[in-house]
Chain A
């Protein structure tokens, strides 16, 4: 087992990792930028090293500073958390070459699965259903039309070098293909310096359902069921739950088996998640793989009674996975709300500043993962996540009641937060019925209703 673990992260996830280390009896090192001097993770850890000024590229995103901190404290392993350097294959490689264990999969796997087209190819090889599309770049309008005829409209034109919604166009029928192709190509050239496009089938009303995986260094891989993550705004998840209200035990077994097959094919180890898009007919397609622990991991932990961070640490230290697939049975229902320092009445504009008063909910089945406290200054330099509120109950209906109750008890004063927004969403009939897809938030969002909640 490791003699000391350095946590290359901040905020609630740094605390989360420190907690797992404490329970395993492993000393911890926190790293922090000057603005995080009074952050809880520096207090909870056994040692803390200041690594730089506030900008991420000079602190939390800086491999040299982080590895130097590991060297001077004698840490023999680094847990990268999520975000920052968690999926940076160069960082993983640097750690290993400095004799520091990177808690996660190998640099090779991170690199491969981080490349969208390589990942898709790898999954295809493994027999995992992928979104039908072109085999790489489509070089002409004629070829685009041919491919689209093959897979069926509607299709999406996507930039090969792209991301963030740029260079993407939905094409609903053949007569619009030529025009859309030219425009998407030009946009891609302007945004990424590469006009190359590929085509994918456009899935209408998709649900985002992902499978949690755990693999050890000996080839044992299990899945821990699914998480429903369709409640998103601008591709950022806001509310997640396990199990998904529409996944039956049969579908779970099927998706799980497919995900394990995909992970095994690339030699995956540690914790990871395969994200699928599910269409209205219940067909699911590989979207991407996240080779790290995720923000929403607590809902899986509550329902499967497992500590995913401890498992990551054990696996990285060379222990065999001691959970068998048959033991994995969901118990009850868990829902998580991501509470961000954002103004829901003002286009979710970030709202950093001092939290004057902070009171977390408690009681049965309530878990809060947070680094915030009364008088804490939320800095403007990092993401806006202030707290994760997770509830667990015997069934979904009870979980929603418990969530409503806990949101009412959650007091954060001094900054704007998305608590009123969550209260609004969970009261909609669609949410209560489990009847939503990834367009849900953009379709139903009503500033006026949220305002009423704030004023009441």
Chain B
């Protein structure tokens, strides 16, 4: 499913009376949900939620749908999912930034990464698992520390889309 197809699907949902559309194809799943003025696109596999503000035809004259204030207060830039891709842990284990205790970390903040590039290791039951990037971009933030335990779906990196 490429970006052109996704754009087409969004247009279809937006113009129709459909509130929610879920499509599964070759192991990839996409869910598009109408949320008043916004159309939310979620791909449950990697937990990404991207919200597109669609121009609605003649919205009802009432209070504009202001987004709920971000709970973290500081975070419009860091949690702005238009700008950043969240790398989430696919497993439970211990996070390591480098292949070995005395080796250089796989990535640092500011590094450019491409799909397939190793970002970190998560160790579980004595087995090391390399976690690879699925996107291109720049490492904006590293949200966990070396040797920190991580759970499934925990956000590890923010990659700025370029």
Contact = CB atoms under 8 A, between A and B. Distances in A.
Given A64-B124, A64-B125, A68-B125, A50 B94 contact: no
A67 interface: yes
A10 to B, nearest CB: 14
A68 B93 contact: yes
B125 A51 contact: no
Interface in B48-98: 91-94
A72 B152 contact: no
Contacts of B150: 72
A65 B92 contact: yes
A67 B149 contact: no
A98 interface: yes
A390 interface: no
Interface in B86-113: 91-94
B152 A71 contact: no
Given A64-B124, A68-B125, A53 B92 contact: no
A142 to B, nearest CB: 52
Contacts of B133: none
Contact of A71 (B44, B124, B154): B124
Contact of B153 (A34, A67, A71, A98): A34
Nearest to B47: A34
A280 B44 CA distance: 55
A52 interface: yes
Contacts of A50: 92, 151-154
A72 B125 contact: no
Nearest to B90: A52
B92 A68 contact: yes
A49 B151 contact: yes
Interface in A19-64: 34, 49-53, 59, 64
Contact of A51 (B44, B94, B149, B152): B152
A285 B75 CA distance: 67
A429 B44 CA distance: 52
Contacts of B151: 49-51, 69, 72
Contact of B152 (A65, A67, A98): A65
Contacts of A49: 92, 151-152
A34 to B, nearest CB: 6
A71 to B, nearest CB: 7
Nearest to A63: B125
Interface in B129-162: 149-154
Interface in B19-44: 44
Nearest to A58: B152
B153 A69 contact: no
A67 B94 CA distance: 12
A73 interface: yes
A53 B152 contact: yes
Contact of B149 (A34, A52, A73): A73
A51 B94 CA distance: 13
B127 to A, nearest CB: 8
A157 to B, nearest CB: 42
A52 B93 CA distance: 12
Contacts of A68: 91-93, 124-125
Contacts of A67: 124-125
B149 to A, nearest CB: 3
Contacts of B44: 53
Contacts of A73: 149
A54 B150 CA distance: 18
A263 B62 CA distance: 72
Given A64-B125, A65-B91, A98-B125, A72 B153 contact: no
Nearest to B44: A53
Given A68-B92, A72-B93, 14 more contacts: A49-B152, A50-B151, A50-B153, A50-B154, A51-B92, A51-B151, A52-B152, A53-B44, A53-B152, A64-B124, A64-B125, A65-B91, A69-B92, A71-B124
6 contacts: A50-B152, A53-B44, A64-B125, A68-B92, A68-B124, A72-B151
